[in-house]
Amino acid sequence: MRLAILGGSFNPVHLGHLHLADSVLSAFDYDRLILIPAHISPFKRRGEYGAANAGPQDRLDMLLASIPADPRFSVDDMELKRRGVSYTADTVNAVIDKYRPRGKPALILGDDLAADFYRWKNAEEIAAKTDIILARRVDPRPAFEFPFPHKILNNDMMAVSSQKIREYAASDGPWRYLVPAGARVIIEERGLYGKAASSVSAELTAAVEEAARKTLAAERFLHSRSTALTARDLALRFGLNPAEAYLAGIAHDLGKSLNKKRMLALAEKDGRPVSALERKKPGLLHGRAAAVLLQGRFKLHNKRVLEAVALHTSGAADMGPLAMVVYIADKIEFSREAVNPALREMAGKAPRPGEKALSSLLLAVLEDNAAYLAENKLELLPATAELLQKLRKELT
């Protein structure tokens, strides 16, 4: 495997980083590019990370959440594990040791740092062991002689920097679409860099979780916890808000403890039709009842979370991605017995670009469920049948 290395603080990772990485792979013959976040960059003052309020783990998580759809990229946390100041010479040796690449690994160097490269720790050794690629970071290109063998990348420059994003985020500026979707949800969920807060508060989630703990049977509560964690994982993988996924997962079965009459009465308030089957078996309405309860009792108004809770039993042809994630999580979470292992395996795989991975996973779960119902001579809900038909048409 031919490897290229792109190091940096990634505080946070932004579209310019990924565009640069993509440009290297387009211009030169490498199989994979490894992004390596620095623990402490020799070029930054120590204070930067603390003041900016994103720790090493945050920077790593943002990177991991930004590239799962692209198998050409990977992230390595070796510099974080090594701690201390991150010297490129150590990293180059560690990469060669660990990956045994074919040929020399490429080292991507911004031309803003290149003029001082000769002063780096073991610069000659780095230059001997890698193929240095000089990438454009500043315009116009600085004029200097680079005294080591190298290639020049004529990449486009994007007018985006981590510093600008941090400043924007701290002042409610337009930072959101300068970073990959996965990084955006982590910044929002964790409230990094100042004001970027999640639309779902930690207090609300804690209150709902406490209600689930108190009102549900122990086993049902464990199932809810496991659903919440599975939904959170899936949300991260598919670029959705993990805090919303967790909340929907922990709340989805809150209606289970209601009596049938109350379930029906609550569900009828949400505006969707109640089918004959649901009228006969009001237990099927526990999700919709829970969504109505969450609005009244907990003042939860996040539409995505409410939809996910309401639709977790039936699904619906028009359901959104968060609802899909919670539907899937409910069916495959790890405390559930007799789950088809192929579904869990499919859910654990990173989606590939161009695949309708979330819909495909949902279809697989639905087909599995439909087969089980048919075997036991049970009826499909009309909304489920409609969803199934739509996905089959779209995907097969």
Query: Least CB distance from residue 211 to Fe ion, whole Å?
Result: 15
Token pair of 214, please? 């108190």
Cα(131)–Cα(151) distance, rounded to whole angstroms? 8
Selected binder of Fe ion within 253, 278, 307, 333 (CB under 5 A): 253
Q: Which residues, numbered 45-84, are part of the site for Fe ion (CB under 5 A)?
A: none
Residue 65 identity (one-letter amino acid): A
The nearer residue to Fe ion, 180 or 287, going by C-beta atoms, is: 287
Q: Which residues, numbered 305-334, are part of the site for Fe ion (CB under 5 A)?
A: 330
The nearer residue to Fe ion, 221 or 298, going by C-beta atoms, is: 221
> Are residues 84 and 39 in contact, defined by beta-carbon separation less than 8 angstroms?
yes
Token pair of 270, please? 């949400």
Query: Least CB distance from residue 153 to Fe ion, whole Å?
Result: 51
Sign (positive/negative) of CA torsion 212, 210, 247, 267? positive
> Are residues 155 and 108 in contact, defined by beta-carbon separation less than 8 angstroms?
no
Residue 190 identity (one-letter amino acid): R
Residue 150 identity (one-letter amino acid): H
What is the C-alpha R_g of the chain? 25
Q: For Fe ion, which stretch binds (CB under 5 A), given 33-41, 234-242, 249-257, 297-305?
A: 249-257
The nearer residue to Fe ion, 197 or 222, going by C-beta atoms, is: 222
Q: Which secondary-structure segment (H or E) carries 385? A: helix 382-395
Query: Least CB distance from residue 27 to Fe ion, whole Å?
Result: 50
The nearer residue to Fe ion, 145 or 337, going by C-beta atoms, is: 337
Q: Number of residues interacting with Fe ion: please give it, by CB under 5 A.
A: 2
The nearer residue to Fe ion, 188 or 330, going by C-beta atoms, is: 330
Q: Tell me the per-residue interface mask from 330 to 369 with Fe ion, x by CB under 5 A, - otherwise.
A: x---------------------------------------
- Tell me phi and psi for residue 34, to 5 degrees: -105, 125
Query: Least CB distance from residue 349 to Fe ion, whole Å?
Result: 23
Which residues neighbour 367 within 8 Å (Cβ) at sequence distance 6 or greater? 388
Which residues neighbour 170 within 8 Å (Cβ) at sequence distance 6 or greater? 193, 194, 195
The nearer residue to Fe ion, 137 or 225, going by C-beta atoms, is: 225
Query: Least CB distance from residue 172 to Fe ion, whole Å?
Result: 38
The nearer residue to Fe ion, 118 or 372, going by C-beta atoms, is: 372
Query: Least CB distance from residue 240 to Fe ion, whole Å?
Result: 19
CA separation (Å) from 2 to 26, 76, 126? 14, 16, 17
Query: Least CB distance from residue 158 to Fe ion, whole Å?
Result: 44
For binding to Fe ion (CB under 5 A), which residues are involved? 253, 330
